[in-house]
Amino acid sequence: MTLDRLDRAALSAMAAIACVIGIILWRGDQVGVQITRATPAAGAESVAIRSALSFTFSEAMVADSLEGRVRLSPQISGALRWNGNTALFVPAGPLQPDTAYTVTIEAGARSARGRLLLRDTQWSFRTGHPRVVYLSPALDAGNLYLAEIDGATPPRQITSEPYGVFDFAISPDGARIVYSANRDDSGVRDLWLIQLDGSRRELLVACDQQVCQSPAWAADGTRIAFERRTLIDGAIGRSPGPARIWLVDVSTRQAAPLFGGDQAGESQKLGFLPRWAPLGDRLSYYDPLESAITVVDTQSGEIIQLPSVLGDSGAWSPDGNQLIYPELVAVDTGQFSQMLRADLVMNVITPVTALTTTNDASITWSPSGAWIAFSRQSIRTGAGFVSLGPQVWVSQADNTAQARPLTDQPEYSYGGLRWSPDETWIAAVRNNLRAPNARPEVWLIRVAPAPGLAEQRVLAADATIPAWTP
């Protein structure tokens, strides 16, 4: 067969392409698999002591090939999880505060295409120490403050919103805060992002003629769930209408309703108090029409409903497999709130504690999942029906029969409980029930290792909504 000039040119081009492909493949094998991104980044400072480590590979990996090749110095064990090309190393416990850590990924991990990580990869970062962010003043146009727990350093103001911050949430890595702020005196409330040091204030969602509030970060820090309510004109002014759950992508600023619907969100389901699981893609919220806690897997779309009448969306276990929530139970002597545990793996709901003449609320898991803390209000039903201020209780998560109080001051109420990342302290909002016009205060309560009342001290007067930096 005789080849003309065009055929020869085509064959030459094909040979050149094949040669280039061969060189690329050969070069890829010589270079091997690369780690293209790591978190915390090399040289990062003030890293959260509850941080997970992530590293993204240049191509899909054989998951088992990375087992045993991730080391931290100082040494700490952990578990590996995968999300596409990204490996997540979750330490078994908190890192040490104010400590330099070195991460080593040993050579030998293998990609699905058979390429290897040819060389050890190593980088270092330094942890910070837990601090508390709170809102002050509590009942006026308040702003966010960051406080050291030693009490020796004055708190630092983070925001300066003239019409006040309503509520907030700290990102999983502790670097940023999302908060809702009143735009003016019209009732409109927007969502903003700001760094923990108060820099780089950015508008996240402009909520024209609406109220946006109750923000919650997804576990991977890429999305935020929040309530969106349309302002409704009434006889005595404007007030927020029913709440609906929206999601916003942190990087693109694109916001959309959780269940679709029009831009006003009028066709989606009602819901409030969104809370993300600490791991995975599950989101819980309370549905007032169904009188149920709704759990949505935002990846698969699976929905689970837990009947409840108290309007709480539950407290997630650190592994994202369980929810504890208070539920109203009627007995001969009255109605009391009891803690229930929903196991979303076994699909069972069981009582956490025996039913007594108490009301349990403000439930929170410790970061390791070994403990829970809650507020317990004792009800005396003898000569009269007397309610005492809720006190702080703790219990092992798997042995609640041994629940014990940390405080015993019935003239005060304790709520808004939050564990410190190292499980040494619980931050709480304390209210004086006997003083007229008393203002809330943020208190720190040391978790005693044995039964007995705990050490406690005030962190901030006229303050509320404490949250720990991770």
> pLDDT, tens digit, for every residue of 422-457?
899 999 999 999 999 999 999 999 997 777 777 899
What is the edge-to-edge ordering of all strands in the sheet holding 303-307?
Answer: 272-276, 282-287, 292-297, 303-307
Amino acid identity at 203 = L
pLDDT tier, 23 (very low <50, low <70, confident <90, very high otherwise):
very low
* Whether pLDDT at 11 is above 60: no
* Whether pLDDT at 264 is above 60: no
CATH, range 32-126: 2.60.40.3710
* Whether pLDDT at 398 is above 90: no
The predicted pLDDT at position 29 comes to 56
For 400-425, how does the pLDDT look when each residue is reduced to its tens digit (9 = 90+)? 888 999 999 999 999 999 999 989 99
- CB distance 345 to 320 below 8 Å: no
The predicted pLDDT at position 333 comes to 67
Tokens of 4: 């003309």
354/400 Cα distance (integer angstroms): 9
The whole-number average pLDDT for the span 271-285 is 94
More confident residue, 262 or 282: 282
Mean pLDDT of the residues in the chain: 88
| Domain map (residue ranges) of the chain | 1-30, 32-126
The predicted pLDDT at position 353 comes to 83
Percentage, residues of the chain above pLDDT 70: 90
Q: Beta partners for 248?
A: 224, 255
pLDDT tier, 12 (very low <50, low <70, confident <90, very high otherwise):
low
Q: Which of 260, 342, 347 is nearest to 301 (CA)?
A: 260
For 91-149, how does the pLDDT look when each residue is reduced to its tens digit (9 = 90+)? 877 788 889 999 999 999 999 999 999 999 999 999 988 899 999 999 899 999 999 99
* Whether pLDDT at 25 is above 50: no
pLDDT tier, 64 (very low <50, low <70, confident <90, very high otherwise):
very high
pTM of the full predicted structure? 0.82
